[in-house]
Amino acid sequence: MLPSLRPSTKSLVILVLALLSASFAFASGPYVIGSANTVTADPNITRPTTTPCVVQLFSDAQFYDFNVENFSYTPPASCPGPWAKVVLEADINVAAGIQYDRTANFWLGPTNIYFGTTAEPSPSLGPSWHVESDLTDYSPIFTTAQSGQADIGNTLCCGLTSIIFASATLEFYPVAKGQTAPAAANVVLPLSAGPSGGTVALNTGTDTLSGTFTLPTNIANAYLDVYAQGQSTDEFWYTCVPNDVATELDSCTNTAFRETEITIDGQPAGVAPVFPWIFTGGLGDPFLWSPIPGVQTLNFVPYRVNLTPFAGLLSNGEPHTVALSVYNADSYFSATASLLLYLDSTTPQITGAVTTNTLTGPSPVVTENLNVQPNSITGTVKLSSNRAFVIAGYIKGSHGEVTTRIAQSSDFFNNQTFTINDSKYVQDISQSTGLYSSTTTSSPGAATTVTSQSFQFPLTVDIAEVVLSNGDINQTTTADQTYSVGVTTKQGSQITFTSSLIDAGQHADTLEFDSSGNFLGNEKQSSAQQYNYFDSTAVAYDCAISAVANLLSTFTPGCQQ
């Protein structure tokens, strides 16, 4: 095995954070040119015109010793629902000092209501940021008083000094006079660690997160919101290689393919792609993510799996087990999910069955083309996974016999190019995750509805560690990632709705070390994010921001203030 040029990532993070420029200053607003405070191009949630009731979940909670913040929730008496919208707001900040990125979860009872990670501070900057989520679909969990818990796994040991602070509220917007409430789930059932929530660690591909439920007997539609967050070895799963070449390439194992597999009673029921979230200490260079973090780093978006073809089966009054696992998990993925059920209110007993299910497990193909010499390695490692499947089922209820047919294809590739010798380590990664589905709903006497969805998650990461003629080492890293979703709905031959969302980020930086591994500084830092959304109802949002030398340099007029 060739000697690794790579410094220890976590040790490097502590070192770099301790030496960040003292010119960083706390920002007073979200878009301040010249500010180093954490900032994103993400939009806030659009609000109804009604006046909300606001419920404080917790205020200025402190996280410092892997402690949790317990709180009590009581539904707002003045806004009894159903609600036009339910919005979670959270404000989080990290004290100036030295600290890693940390995972944050908020739970109401056993149900997850927020999942994200934190920004990293410097000795002269305590970053602060604001996140919002639309939780209207989860309305049933807000109708009863219950306890909750906020968990940001932070510690002050081992040279780490920064406490994390957080506050959160729920806003409940009444329905305006003359309007009706949007369709929300009638039942929300959690897949979590227990009565107070908590994620479950999936260390291997055979580990599962599951929930066994006796469900209502009148389910018309069913969905599963899935979170699978890579941790520890799997934090950088997209950099991994096949086990047989991992030692030579100084890399993690189990290849670079991960995918969440959903089952009902042990039978394949759906898949969820794993988005390559990159945390603010990611890839060994926190400068990459300051002040603009990676896409969704601070506020993850779950992937919603449509389980409606199974509605007839799930309504039969028998217990059913819904489970998920992560293909190729390698210690580990932090997972949770929520089962959302929409009921037929005028039919006490739905009947039906699954009529088609061609979903099987993935079969990724690996191609290795490496030239391994005593003092050098060059070549490529490529992986692809492509498959298509159909799941269909029907129910009989108040609308007669309704058939749901989901035709889905998934395309994944990860191509890695290596150049390794005594003076350099270069790893260039090009990856793309694509999931394309067409959901057809039909019933006698009604126009057929077809909803097409396209999810695309391209990622490129280039890492070059080069020994200079004087013995110093430069590490140059670039990372580009995109979260892209397109939706089109047709009723009969008429398009009734379209939408497009593109959230993209670009990051680059060079770290400099002397021959003994001492950090000398960084240069050529730049980062940018573009968030663009529009739909056929005339909702539109377009914001672009950029930073140079870790300071915000531009933002466009469409960005929210």
Q: What is the CATH number of the domain that holds 148?
A: 2.60.120.230
Other CB atoms within 10 A of residue 161 CB: 16
The answer as to whether 21 is a domain residue is no
The answer as to whether 381 is a domain residue is yes
The answer as to whether 34 is a domain residue is no
The answer as to whether 203 is a domain residue is yes
Place of tokens 């499947």: 389
Do 100 and 117 reside in the same domain of the chain?
yes
Other CB atoms within 10 A of residue 33 CB: 10
Do 264 and 348 reside in the same domain of the chain?
yes
Do 325 and 258 reside in the same domain of the chain?
yes
Do 211 and 78 reside in the same domain of the chain?
no
Do 320 and 226 reside in the same domain of the chain?
yes
In sign, the C-alpha dihedral spanning 276, 280, 285, 287 is positive
On whether the CB atoms of residues 220 and 315 are closer than 8 A, the answer is no
Do 139 and 111 reside in the same domain of the chain?
yes
Do 394 and 444 reside in the same domain of the chain?
yes
Other CB atoms within 10 A of residue 486 CB: 15
The answer as to whether 205 is a domain residue is yes
Sheet with 83-94, strands from edge to edge, namely 53-63, 164-174, 83-94, 128-134
DSSP letter at 184?
Answer: -
| Each residue's pLDDT expressed in tens, for the chain with a length of 561 residues | 343 444 333 334 334 433 333 332 333 347 999 999 999 999 999 999 999 999 999 999 999 999 999 999 999 999 999 999 999 999 999 999 999 999 999 999 999 999 999 999 999 999 999 999 999 999 999 999 999 999 999 999 999 999 999 999 999 999 999 999 999 999 999 999 999 999 999 999 999 999 999 999 999 999 999 999 999 999 999 999 999 999 999 999 999 999 999 999 999 999 999 999 999 999 999 999 999 999 999 999 999 999 999 999 999 999 999 999 999 999 999 999 999 999 999 999 999 999 999 999 999 999 999 999 999 999 999 999 999 999 999 999 988 999 999 999 999 999 999 999 999 999 999 999 999 999 999 998 889 999 999 999 999 999 999 999 999 999 999 999 999 999 999 999 999 999 999 999 999 999 999 998 899 999 999 999 999 999 999 999 999 999 999 999 999 999 976
| DSSP bridge pairs for 487 | 453, 499
Half-sphere exposure of 269 (CA within 13 A, CB side): 26
Measured CA angle at 175 (ends 173, 180), to 5 deg? 140
Break the chain down into helix, strand, coil percent, rounded to 5: 5, 55, 40
Do 157 and 230 reside in the same domain of the chain?
no
| DSSP-derived secondary structure for 276-335 | ----TTGGG-GGGGSSS--TTTTS--PEEEE-GGGHHHHTSSSEEEEEEEEET-EEEEEE
Q: Could you say which of 122, 141, 176 is where a domain stops?
A: 176
- Nearest Cα to Cα of residue 511 among 4, 1, 2, 6: 6
- Nearest Cα to Cα of residue 437 among 481, 401, 485, 402: 485
The answer as to whether 250 is a domain residue is yes
pLDDT for the residue 466: 96
Do 439 and 533 reside in the same domain of the chain?
yes
The answer as to whether 211 is a domain residue is yes
Other CB atoms within 10 A of residue 521 CB: 12
On whether the CB atoms of residues 209 and 323 are closer than 8 A, the answer is yes
The answer as to whether 18 is a domain residue is no
3-state secondary structure of 337: strand
Q: What is the pTM of this model?
A: 0.94
Do 126 and 265 reside in the same domain of the chain?
no
pLDDT for the residue 561: 60
Number of structural domains the chain divides into: 2
pLDDT for the residue 30: 79
The Cα–Cα gap between 364 and 369 comes to 17
Do 142 and 224 reside in the same domain of the chain?
no
Do 172 and 205 reside in the same domain of the chain?
no
pLDDT for the residue 4: 43
Q: Could you say which of 137, 152, 176 is where a domain stops?
A: 176
User: Which value, to the nearest 10 degrees, does the dihedral of the CA atoms of residues 105, 108, 112, 117 take?
Assistant: -20
**Could you list the residue range(s) of the whole structural domain that residue 167 is in?**
47-176
Report the relative pairing of strands 200-204 and 330-343 from DSSP bridges. Answer: antiparallel
Q: Could you say which of 176, 211, 231 is where a domain stops?
A: 176
H runs (alpha helix) in 364-523: none
Q: Structure tokens of 233? A: 């070895």
